[in-house]
Structure 1
Amino acid sequence: MEQFLPLLKQLWVVWFLVLFMGIVIWAFRPGAKRRFEADAMIPLNDGAGPAGDER
């Protein structure tokens, strides 16, 4: 099992790099800006909107 330890460490680094790049691509995709701006306004809303208001 100890002979696989260096390989497993390298695979974890590759896995986290792929995961990080996927999150970055998801966050900066063209259609995300409108959603993130709407989500940023949630704390500022007074809650007087209609119940069950979905995007």
Structure 2
Amino acid sequence: MDNAVYDGLRHFADSWGLVYMLAIFIAVLLFVIRPGASAHAKAAARIPLEDNEPITGDKTQ
């Protein structure tokens, strides 16, 4: 790879890549702390405990 291309891509990743990753981090943070997120998280955490289907035999066949 040409050294100028490498330096250009590295500069892009160092500047705009960092901005992009920071924006993603802030978006996820806001999604987690939004009002109502606690109820959704608690409901999702209970999904494995609410499986009411009986286990019957070996399901590999």
Decide: shared fold, TM above 0.5. Answer: yes
What value does the CA root-mean-square deviation take over the aligned residues? 1.7
Gaps of 5+ in 2: 54-61
Deviation beyond 4 Å, 4+ runs, structure 1: none
In the superposition, the TM-score normalised over structure 2's length comes to: 0.64
Higher helix share: 2
Percent of residue pairs bearing the same amino acid type: 27
Structure-2 residue corresponding to 1:53 = none
2:36 maps to 1:31: yes
1:31 is displaced (CA, Å) by 1.3
2:5 maps to 1:9: no
Partner secondary structure for residue 34 of structure 2: coil
Aligned length: 48
Gaps of 5+ in 1: 49-55
Bigger CA radius of gyration = 2
